[in-house]
Each structure stands twice: as C-alpha cells, then as structure tokens.
Amino acid sequence: MTTFPEPNAPYQYGSVAPYSSSQSRLESSESNIPYAVVAHDLVRTFGQKVAVNHLNLAVRQGEFFGFLGPNGAGKSTTIKMLVGLLRPTAGSALVAGVDVWKEPLRARALMGVLPEYLNLYERLSGREFITFAGHMYGVPDVDVRRRTEELLQVLDLANDADKLIVDYSVGMRKKVALAAAILHRPQVLFLDEPFEGIDPVSSRVIRDILRELTQRGTTIFFSSHIMEVVERLCTRVGIINQGVLVAEGTLQELRERASGDDKDATLEDIFLNVVGVQNGSHNLSWLE
C-alpha cells in the first residue's frame, strides 16, 4: 500500500518524518525510501491567471516520475518552482529534504536541471560549457575532464565539441544542456521536455542514460508530451490540467482508475480520458 498523498489533497506532513540536518532526508512512516521531491500546496499566479493551483505531490528517491499535461497546464511553472527558478505565490518545495526556497544553494547542489528554455552560454563551445558546469558544481578537475569527454562521446557531440554553442542545432543544444545537468551526478534530476527536438538515436542513448541514473538511485522528474517514452520509462505518472493535479499513480493504478475495465488502455487513452478529450469532437466546419 502506498502512502502518497491523494492528488491535490493537502500534503500531510504527519505521514513523513520531519526533516532534520542529522537525518539529511525525509522518510515516510510506511516505507524507508525517502521522498526526493515534495510539493506542498504549491500555488503560482500570474495576475488573474492561476497557473498552478494548490499542487501537492511527493516523489520517492529512485523513482522515474513523468509529469504530463496539455499545453499551458502548468508543468513548466511547477518544475520552475520545484527547482528554484520561479518563486511560488504560496506553498513550499523540498528536494532531497532541503527546502528549495529557504536553502536555495544547498538545494541546487543536489539537483540537475534541464529547463524548458535553454539559457546557454552561446559563446562557449560544447566542451567548454560542460566543463564549466562541472566546475560550478565543484566536481574535481580530473573527473570533470573524464566525464565531459565520455558525455560528448555517448551523446554524439564529440565531432562538434569545439564548435560554439551559438552554432548548435536545437537537438545539440538540448544534449549539451543535458550533459551539463548530469555531470555532477545529482540526487534529483528535473527535465522539462528532454526529448523534444532529439533524433531517435540520441533519444535511445538518453533513455539508457536516464534509466541507468535511476538504477543507481537518482530520482528523475520529467515532463513530456511523448506518451510512448513516458510509458516506457516512468515508474509513476502525474497528470496536471489547468493547474490542478488531476491524476497520479503507477500506470496500472491510473489504468484502473481512469479506464475501468479496459486493461489495454494506453497512457494516451488514459491521458485523454483524464483531461476530458472526446474522440472526433474537433472537426473544422470549413473542411466539410
């Protein structure tokens, strides 16, 4: 039996041992696996628009968590609040037991982030950028050099490693940003649409790297519109719609809740069901 909070129910701290510096992580009362990401009643408004509406979520260490939702649902806004890029209007966020907004530097050291819009140093080469990121995280120089070369190799960037990032393609930019996000072996990795603009070969390589990271204890929290990838990789999925977390669980749990008897329902079926999209209801009158 899981102890995850119900979607959008206020997160119960009573079910989680309080964090203390000596404990260095959150632990649930029923399981010894600590929570790696906790969103507690997160709210973000932009003027009148409520982009994220009292979102409660808890992801355990080592989970591969897929965060889904239609365009404009609030995925990126949530991720930005979780990683310290966008201050919540209300609520709090913990990463590896550290309050992201109270101890931002400590929290940032524990995470890797691939944001939606990549803000890269355009006048650095790919190799320089990855190396710079490693040094920023305090990784020893010898490890930075070895890991940078390996990452360039496996991500098929070696031949372009000395080219300036300004001349990189969309996919190359994403790969170099991913390399920079994982080089310091973060405890928690946040990826906003990591597979967008990525070719099938690199996509396979990235999937393998991400799987290996989770097998070695890294928690991955990622958003994607590519259902097959989410279905293949994720141990658990959350679906957000209009700022509200409308479903959350393993694929099996979501299938049972959203599709009833349909044991063969795909994640796409479940997603469309949960966000309330009807088949064939979007005809263009002027095409008739």
Ligand X SMILES: Nc1ncnc2c1ncn2[C@@H]1O[C@H](COP(=O)(O)OP(=O)(O)OP(=O)(O)O)[C@@H](O)[C@H]1O
Binding site for ligand X (CB under 6 A): 46, 49, 51, 69, 71-77
**Minimal distance, residue 77 CB to ligand X, in Å:** 3
d(CA 166, CA 210): 26
Strands (E), 2-123: 16-17, 26-28, 34-46, 49-60, 64-68, 90-95, 98-99, 111-114
Are 127 and 161 in contact by the 8 Å Cβ rule? The answer is: yes
Q: Please say which residue, 16 or 239, places its beta carbon nearer to ligand X.
A: 239
Are 81 and 88 in contact by the 8 Å Cβ rule? The answer is: yes
Are 7 and 238 in contact by the 8 Å Cβ rule? The answer is: yes
**Minimal distance, residue 192 CB to ligand X, in Å:** 7
**Minimal distance, residue 49 CB to ligand X, in Å:** 6
**Minimal distance, residue 246 CB to ligand X, in Å:** 13
Q: Please say which residue, 76 or 218, places its beta carbon nearer to ligand X.
A: 76
DSSP element (H, E) containing 68: strand 64-68
d(CA 239, CA 235): 14
Q: Please say which residue, 148 or 224, places its beta carbon nearer to ligand X.
A: 224
Q: Please say which residue, 120 or 275, places its beta carbon nearer to ligand X.
A: 275
